[in-house]
C-alpha cells in the first residue's frame, strides 16, 4: 500500500508543477536521459526527454528547451537526438529544442 500511496503523491505533485508552468511561452526543463535510459537511473533527480515533452504538451507550453544533458553525450549525439525529438509537430504542438552552451533565445 505504501508504494501506491507514494505514486499517488508523485502524480499530484507533478500535476501541481504542470499547473505552475501551464501556458508558458518558454519552459526550460531538465531532460538528461531518454525514456529507455531512465529506468536504470530512477531517483537520480533527472527527467527523461519524453516525459518533459509530454508534460509541456499537457500544460500548453509554447516552446520547450531541453537542458542538463547527460555529460557523456557528444555534440553529435545531441544532434542525433534533436533529429528524433525536435521535428515540428511530431510530438504535439509544443516547439522542442535542445539548449546549448552560449545559446540565446529570442522572445
Q: 30 is written with which cell numbers?
A: 531538465
CA distances from 77 to 21, 49, 72, 73, 98 (A): 29, 14, 10, 6, 12
The pLDDT profile of the chain, 107 residues, written as one tens digit per residue, is 455 566 777 778 888 889 999 999 999 998 877 766 656 556 655 678 898 999 999 999 999 999 877 778 888 988 999 999 999 999 999 999 999 889 999 88
Instruction: Round to whole Å and give the CA distance between 45 and 30.
Output: 9
**Whole-prediction pTM value?**
0.81
Q: Kindly tell me the sign of the dihedral angle through the C-alpha atoms of 46, 66, 35, 12.
A: positive
Instruction: Round to whole Å and give the CA distance between 52 and 92.
Output: 12
Per-domain boundaries in the chain:
2-98
Please tell me the predicted confidence (pLDDT) of residue 20: 94
Amino acid at each position: 500500500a505504501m508504494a501506491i500511496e507514494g505514486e499517488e503523491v508523485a502524480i499530484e505533485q507533478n500535476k501541481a508543477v504542470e499547473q505552475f508552468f501551464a501556458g508558458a511561452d518558454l519552459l526550460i526543463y531538465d531532460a538528461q536521459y531518454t525514456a529507455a535510459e531512465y529506468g536504470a537511473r530512477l531517483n537520480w533527480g533527472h527527467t527523461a526527454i519524453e516525459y518533459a515533452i509530454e508534460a509541456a504538451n499537457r500544460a500548453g507550453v509554447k516552446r520547450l528547451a531541453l537542458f542538463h544533458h547527460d555529460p557523456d553525450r557528444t555534440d553529435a549525439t545531441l544532434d542525433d537526438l534533436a533529429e528524433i525529438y525536435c521535428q515540428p509537430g511530431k510530438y504535439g504542438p509544443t516547439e522542442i529544442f535542445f539548449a546549448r552552451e552560449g545559446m540565446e533565445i529570442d522572445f
